[in-house]
Amino acid sequence: MLQKDTANYVTSVNLNREFTRAAWGFNLRHNDVIVWGNEATADSCLFCYAQTVQILPDDTVSEVNLRNFDKKTLSGSWTAKVKAADFGVIMVNGVAVAGSYNELDLGWSDITSLLYEGQDNIITVAIWNKDGDYSWDVILRRGETAVWGYDDKGSGQVGEVFFTTVIVDGAGNIVP
């Protein structure tokens, strides 16, 4: 899935089912060589860890922060939420902002600081199923008003069961 001759980005996310101790380990390999990794633990967390790495065409790998603090954000308050079985994640302009595992509801995540004026803001949602039944409910709000959402359920399909991209333009409109 990586594109040749351009920068690629890979994000690792750890979700914990309860406010308990969590442990994770992520490795990124190129051929048989580990080129990036992170192993750690944390106490009392739910959305415990999210890190994006950039892979350049020369195979250089480095951790990056995709937030741009120099850009002006859209007006108003923006939040997002996902509830998924087995696993779901929402990313805004490449930054993991919300997740769910086994229908865990982590509530609303404030995404205001990641939506920028004057550009298309890319919101991606991915839902995976390990086995058996799956379901998801995803909502994007501006203030207290739902401006986009989608929910569904099914059975039998394994792996990625839903992937979509929603664009919020630089004026705060949802682009179909």
Over the stretch 53-79, which tens digit does the pLDDT of each residue have? 999 999 999 999 998 889 999 999 999
Task: Label residues 49-74 b or e (16+ Cβ within 10 Å = b).
Answer: bbbbbbbeeeeebeeeeeeeeeeebb
CB 168 within 8 A of CB 115: yes
Q: What is the pLDDT of residue 172?
A: 96
CA distance 27 to 34: 6
What pLDDT score was predicted for residue 15? Answer: 81
What DSSP letter does each residue of 33-78 carry, written as one string? EEEEEEEEEEEEEEEEEEEEEEE-TT--EEEE----TTSPBPSS-E
pLDDT band at 127 (very low <50, low <70, confident <90, very high): very high
Is 169 strand, coil or helix? coil
Q: What is the pLDDT of residue 118?
A: 95
pLDDT at 91 over 90: yes
User: Which letter, b or e, does each residue of 116-133 get, where b requires 16 or more Cβ atoms within 10 Å of its Cβ?
Assistant: beeeebebebbbbbeeee
- Set out the domains of the chain in order of their start, with CATH numbers: 8-64 (no CATH), 78-175 (2.60.60)
* pLDDT confidence bin for 29, thresholds 50/70/90: very high
The residue whose two tokens read 């509830």 is 83
The C-alpha angle with vertex 97 and arms to 27 and 144, in degrees rounded to 5, equals 170
User: Model's pTM, two decimal places?
Assistant: 0.86
Residues 153-164 pLDDT 10s: 999 899 999 999
